[in-house]
């Protein structure tokens, strides 16, 4: 586990990357394909190799003064890094090549051979990945997957179905898709996908913000896959499929909250930097916003610590995500009142942050889903206060 | 026309405006509202910004109204602020500068109040558009073996929205409630309720709402209108 000093150093390193990312954030928002021109940036390089375990990576993406390497393997490391990255540009973070969500599934569920294949692809060159769970008709309800994987008479397997709102779907070369092989909760499987094979198509879905992410609709039409591509075959049936998705969401949710927090901090600092003086009422409002930012940071770090101790306990990370999303949405609106009429268009960063902030609600489960998680944890006794 | 007749005509006009926006005819609604209050098309230039359309801005007889005065648009300095979301909705935002000497004194108080009212009804129309769109989306979806539209949480969201919507309409019909500063609080109060109601709708389509075909773009337009024309006192 990293010490407080090491975490602070990690934050500062990523913060330097973030400042560089900010300088091209608006251009990338307008030209999402330009991400390929920014692969040389320190932040993008770090994202490209984050979440690749040290036993596979020759060079860690970030090395601290103590010589300790940081690969983003713990939730705490990720929230520290992602908050700083979100401060720079969450669009670029989400659009960067690298393991991202699918990496967490591979880490938890892949066999050694599958890991070797997946990480080799990521290390060979900057490679985009995808994580495909959501379907057009079922939204966040992960148990209601309709996409199928069926055995063929002549051997092998065939995947058919549609996935929706998938980040980087059009540029990914490799990814993980959740499909149904049998009815019931244990009939779900996670499968490694090579997008160059026939039967995979992806279409870009234009969205309000985070344009760089290139949200996509993915279709599998008679996509052939071998049994070796199915994840978690070496694990118990209860640890496959949907279990992997839930674990991944639990572990990655504080990261989404941290991105939202980074964006909120960026908005707050923008207000301070771009206004010369403040009225007493504005000072009071700023003070309340500052407190809110610090408070959400505290919750996120608590949640990350809890996830590192017990990934099954996702209640606190749900609390963190709900609060961080609420903060990002409210601060991006509040900011306009500091700059007066027309500020929504006259301040391109505030406009971008407003649009980007509204994406967090839909990542790794909506606030409604999080609230159900919290209630479930409370009723099952996982949340106790005394 | 009698005063009552005029008021009834204006009331109808506002409801028509709301209905037009509800149907998603945003540009057409702005254009109808512009010609509803007098012989010349009028756009509201409060705070130095104008929300209009490309074709309206080119009309030679167009007038800008602000602060109880009117100026022919042809005499004003106009600069378009590009915004892809407005453009997609057929709308455009302009920065407008009117020189003091160009401003002509005009008795346009009624029009200005009418324009403030039109903003309220435009934003109400936007929220109804979001409501319709989310309903159409949820109608065909199912969760926990129940149509999603029938889920208690979804019904609650619609109820919350309708409470705020009803509050705005009834307050508008009654006028400002009595008390110190009531006049000043009137429009901010209505805008605040519109915002609060809208908030209950904007998440109903889940991630679908975030797409260009979704509802968050409409929420953006509603926020933008408030940002351009915001009443004194809200948002603050």
- Mutation pick from B194, B207, B230, B236 vs chain A, by most beta carbons of A within 10 Å, is B207
Q: Are strands B69-72 and B63-66 parallel, antiparallel or unpaired?
A: antiparallel
Closest residue on chain A to B142 (Cα):
A138
Global ipTM:
0.93
Nearest to A150 by CA among A186, A184, A180, A183: A180
How far is B84 from B89, CA to CA, in rounded Å?
Answer: 9
Q: What per-residue confidence (pLDDT) applies to B101?
A: 64
Nearest Cα of chain B lies from the Cα of A299 at a distance, in angstroms, of: 24
Is omega for the bond preceding B235 within 30 degrees of 0, making it cis?
Answer: yes
- A43 with A83: CB under 8 angstroms? no
pLDDT confidence of residue B107: 53
Which residues in chain A are contacts of B49 at CB distance < 8 A?
A: 341-342
pLDDT of residue A111: 94
Does pTM top 0.80 for this prediction? yes
Q: Which residues of chain A fall below pLDDT 50?
A: none
Residue A97's nearest CA partner among A12, A156, A40, A22 is A40
| pLDDT score of B1 | 46
Q: Is A100 left (phi over 0), alpha (psi -120 to 50) or beta?
A: left
Q: Using CB atoms, which residue from B208, B228, B235 is nearest to A342?
A: B228
> Residue A13: which residues within 8 A CB-CB, separation 6 or more?
A62, A64
CB contact under 8 A, A137 and B214: no
Q: Which residue of B lies nearest to A329 if distances are taken between CA atoms? A: B199
Spell out which residues of chain A touch residue B212, defining contact as CB-CB under 8 Å: 205-208
Higher pLDDT, A238 or B55: B55
Chain A neighbors of B217, CB-CB under 8 A: 208
Per CB-CB distance under 8 Å, the chain B contacts of A367 are: 203
Looking only at Cα atoms, what is the longest distance across chain B? 68
- φ, ψ for residue A150 (rounded to 5)? -120, 150
Spatial separation of the C-alpha atoms in residues B188 and B190, rounded to whole Å: 5
150-189 in chain B: CB under 8 A from chain A: 153
Residues B230-234, mean pLDDT to the nearest whole number:
68
pLDDT at site A196: 97
Q: How many CB atoms lie within 10 A of CB A47?
A: 29
- Alpha-carbon distances, residue B173 vs B138, B168, B188 (angstroms): 32, 9, 16
Q: CB of A353 within 8 Å of any CB in chain B?
A: no
Q: Do B210 and A354 touch (CB under 8 A)?
A: no
Cβ neighbour number for residue A381 with a 10 Å cutoff: 7
* Residue found under tokens 């520290």: A80
Strand, helix or coil for residue A386? coil
Nearest CA in chain B to A141: B143
Q: What is the pLDDT of residue A185?
A: 78
pLDDT tens digits along A341-363: 999 999 999 999 999 999 999 99
Do A286 and A271 meet the contact criterion of CB atoms below 8 Å apart?
yes
For B:96-115, CB contacts with A below 8 A are none
Cβ(B171)–Cβ(A336) below 8 Å: no
**At which residue do the structure tokens 């346009």 appear?**
B108
CB nearest to A341's CB, from B208, B214, B227: B227
Calculate the CA dihedral of residues A222, A223, A224, A230 and round it to 10 degrees.
-130
Of A140, A336, A345, Cβ closest to residue B83: A345
pLDDT at B104: 60
Residue B5: the pLDDT is: 56
Adjacent-strand bridge partners of B52? B92
Q: Which residues of B touch A164 (CB under 8 A)?
A: 207-208
Burial annotation B77-102 (CB, 10 A radius, 16+ → b, else e): ebeeeebebbeebbbbbbbbebeeee
């Amino acid at each position: 586990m990293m010490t407080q000093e090491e975490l602070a150093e990690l934050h500062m390193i990523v913060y330097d990357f973030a400042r560089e990312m900010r300088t091209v954030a608006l251009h990338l928002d307008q030209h999402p394909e330009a991400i390929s021109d920014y692969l040389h940036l320190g932040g993008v390089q770090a994202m490209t190799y984050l979440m690749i375990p040290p036993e596979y990576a020759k060079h860690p993406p970030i090395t601290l003064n103590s010589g300790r390497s940081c690969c983003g393997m713990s939730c705490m490391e990720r929230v520290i890094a992602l908050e700083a990255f979100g401060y720079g540009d969450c669009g670029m973070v989400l659009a960067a090549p690298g393991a991202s969500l699918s990496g967490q599934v591979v880490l938890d569920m892949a066999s050694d051979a599958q890991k070797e294949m997946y990480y080799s692809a990521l290390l060979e060159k900057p490679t985009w990945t995808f994580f495909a769970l959501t379907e057009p008709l079922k939204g966040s309800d992960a148990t209601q997957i309709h996409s199928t994987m069926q055995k063929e008479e002549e051997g092998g397997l065939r995947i058919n179905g549609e996935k929706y709102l998938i980040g980087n779907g059009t540029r990914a070369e490799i990814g993980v898709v959740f499909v149904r092989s049998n009815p019931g909760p244990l009939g779900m499987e996670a499968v490694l996908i090579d997008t160059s094979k026939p039967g995979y198509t992806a279409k870009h879905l234009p969205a309000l913000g985070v344009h760089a992410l290139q949200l996509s609709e993915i279709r599998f039409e008679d996509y052939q896959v071998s049994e070796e591509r199915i994840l978690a075959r070496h694990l118990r049936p209860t640890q496959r499929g949907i279990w992997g998705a839930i674990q991944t969401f639990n572990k990655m949710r504080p990261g989404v909250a941290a991105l939202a927090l980074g964006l909120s901090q960026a908005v707050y600092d923008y207000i301070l930097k771009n206004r010369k003086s403040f009225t007493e009422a504005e000072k009071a409002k700023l003070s309340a916003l500052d407190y809110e930012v610090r408070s959400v940071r505290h919750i996120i770090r608590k949640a990350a610590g809890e996830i590192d101790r017990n990934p099954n306990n996702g209640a606190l990370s749900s609390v963190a995500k709900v609060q961080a999303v609420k903060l990002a949405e409210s601060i991006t609106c509040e900011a306009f009142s500091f700059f007066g009429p027309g500020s929504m268009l006259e301040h391109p960063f505030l406009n971008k942050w407003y649009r980007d902030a509204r994406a967090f609600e839909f990542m790794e489960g909506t606030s409604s889903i999080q609230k159900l998680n919290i209630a479930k944890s409370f009723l099952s006794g996982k949340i106790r206060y005394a | 026309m009698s005063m009552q007749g005029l008021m009834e005509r204006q009331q109808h006009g506002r409801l028509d405006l709301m209905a037009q926006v509800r149907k998603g005819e945003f540009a057409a609604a702005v254009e109808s509202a512009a010609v509803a209050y007098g012989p010349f098309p009028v756009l509201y230039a409060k705070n130095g910004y104008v929300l209009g359309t490309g074709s309206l801005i080119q009309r030679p007889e167009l007038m800008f109204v602000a602060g109880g005065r009117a100026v022919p648009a042809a005499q004003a300095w106009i600069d378009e602020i590009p915004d892809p979301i407005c453009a997609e909705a057929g709308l455009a935002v302009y920065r407008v500068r009117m020189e003091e000497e160009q401003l002509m004194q005009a008795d346009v108080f009624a029009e200005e109040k009418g324009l403030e009212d039109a903003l309220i009804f435009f934003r109400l129309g936007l929220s109804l558009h979001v409501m319709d769109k989310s309903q159409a989306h949820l109608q065909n979806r199912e969760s926990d073996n129940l149509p999603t539209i029938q889920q208690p949480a979804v019904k609650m969201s619609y109820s919350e929205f309708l409470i705020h919507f009803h509050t705005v309409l009834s307050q508008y019909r009654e006028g400002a409630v009595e008390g110190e500063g009531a006049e000043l609080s009137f429009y901010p109060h209505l805008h605040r309720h519109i915002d609060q109601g809208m908030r209950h709708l904007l998440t109903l389509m889940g991630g679908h709402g975030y797409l260009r075909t979704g509802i968050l773009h409409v929420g953006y337009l509603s926020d933008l209108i408030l940002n351009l024309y915001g009443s004194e006192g809200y948002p603050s």
